[in-house]
Amino acid sequence: MVRVRRGAGRLGCLITLLLLAGVVYFGVNVGEVYLRYYRYRDAMAQAARFAQTRSDDAIRRGLANVADSLGLPPAAGRVQVRRTNRGIAIEATYIEIVELPGTVREFEFHPRVEHP
């Protein structure tokens, strides 16, 4: 007995795979934005840990270089450094733009670290 197979099962699988590929493709774009944010915040935390041996200008220059090497917008390199009797606070604000299907999304980040 010969069975006739319909192609509907394969077409449904193909559509599912295409949708999954689209989600992964655009998810990677958004994921990269957050990965750069976490790397930048980590660099800020390291700068705060060693702040006793560096001037505020040296910290700003170093973090501006890190922001540039990560491919962050120029605003990320404008770092604010505040020293108090208790420690140091380093922060910045920047916006990353990601193009998604049918829309452009802006992600606003405010990395901030404090070290006693």
| Residue at 2 is within a domain | no
In a domain, residue 3? The reply is no
Say if 1 falls within a structural domain: no
- Asked if residue 82 belongs to a domain, the reply is yes
Kindly give the confidence (pLDDT) of every residue in the chain, 116 residues in length, as a single tens digit, with 9 standing for 90 and above. 666 665 556 677 888 888 898 888 888 889 999 999 999 999 999 999 999 999 999 999 999 999 999 999 999 999 999 999 999 999 999 999 998 888 999 999 999 999 98
- Is residue 42 a part of any domain in this protein? yes
Domain span holding position 60: 8-115
Q: Is residue 49 a part of any domain in this protein?
A: yes
Report the pLDDT value the prediction gives residue 15, as an integer from 0 to 100. Answer: 87
**How many Å apart are CA 99 and CA 107, to the nearest integer?**
11
Q: How many domains does the chain have?
A: 1
Q: Are 90 and 63 in contact (CB under 8 A)?
A: yes
Domain presence at residue 107: yes
Answer whether residue 44 is part of any domain. yes
